Amino acid sequence: MMSPIRRPYATDSQTDSRSPASPVASVTATRASASAKLPAGASRATGAAAWVPAARTAPSSASSTAIVPAAGVSRGRSASAEVRSAIAVLAGRGEDADTFADLAARLELDGHQVTVVTDGARRTPAIVETRVPGVPFVLLGSDTGALAALGMVGSPAVRPDALILLGLPLLHVPVAGLPIEEPSPRTLPDLPILLVHGTDDEISPLPLVRMTTRTAPRAELGVIPGGHDLLAGPGRRSVAARVVLFLESLRDGRTGPAA
């Protein structure tokens, strides 16, 4: 379990919308959200425009109400009546599960299941095991984790419904003494994508990120104060706020470029 949930973050972001031996470590799962107050069997209406899950075969071991450890994966499941989305987090250079503690705690408040997946030979199978049938399956990558998330889009085993990319690195500048090993993307996939970027990011300057989103009609760019270390910088509350808004718009079918 991670540290106690802190007070909800304020929504103070600026936005610019356009169009696998080292197994998996540490996971945080959703706690009971407000939807847990619904009567047993009840569900929340999402309207005619609600997100419709793609046809998939769910892992037979998946459970929506129990804590299930599996071959090095400590995965938590929500005890609430509704899991609103399943998020697999891919950490970047110098990051670990603790890096995402505050962000995960905020997402838990709204019923989103969060699993932090570290590097290892079983990373892809572990990511697949985090999926929850019937809800959006999202890859959230930070720094080189964002590059890894992009590289998994074409995997038949993963097939995410959306991507959240924090500080997508576009320049080959070392972070925590580590270089970039993944190739930089030339284009973004045709998926709902949220990119969150700092105004003073020197690892990936904002103008380069803007250029990358020009050919991605379903990408949305959230610009927040600070540099490359978004989850420890002055705009960290804005990161959580932007992610929550994106997840809700994904469920409601409202992702895409601004009108």
Domains and CATH numbers, the chain: 14-32+66-252 (3.40.50.1820)
Q: What 3-state class would DSSP assign to 2?
A: coil
**In angstroms, what CA-CA distances link 17 with 80, 194, 221?**
32, 9, 5
pLDDT digits (tens, 9 = 90+) for 133-148: 999 999 999 999 999 9
Average of per-residue pLDDT values in the chain: 74
In angstroms, the Cα distances linking 221 to 110, 159, 167, 214 are: 22, 22, 11, 10
Mean local confidence (pLDDT), 34-63:
40
Which residues, including other chains, have CB under 8 Å from residue 130's CB and lie 6 or more apart? 75, 86, 87, 88, 113, 115, 117, 137
pLDDT tens per residue, range 55-107: 444 333 333 222 232 233 334 444 445 899 999 999 999 999 999 999 999 99
Across the strands, what pairs with 139?
Answer: 88, 163
Burial degree of 41 (CB within 10 A; 0-12, 13-18, 19+): exposed
18 has a pLDDT exceeding 50: no
Burial 91-106 (b: 16+ CB within 10 A, else e): bbbebebebbbbbbbb
Q: Residue 25: pLDDT band by 50, 70, 90 thresholds? A: very low
pLDDT band at 185 (very low <50, low <70, confident <90, very high): confident
Residue 249 vs residue 26, higher pLDDT: 249
**In this predicted model, what pLDDT tens digit does every residue of 211-229 receive, in sequence order?**
989 889 899 999 999 999 8
Asked which of 24-28, 118-122, 174-178 is least confident by mean pLDDT, the reply is 24-28
pTM of the model: 0.68
Mean pLDDT, rounded, for 42-54: 41
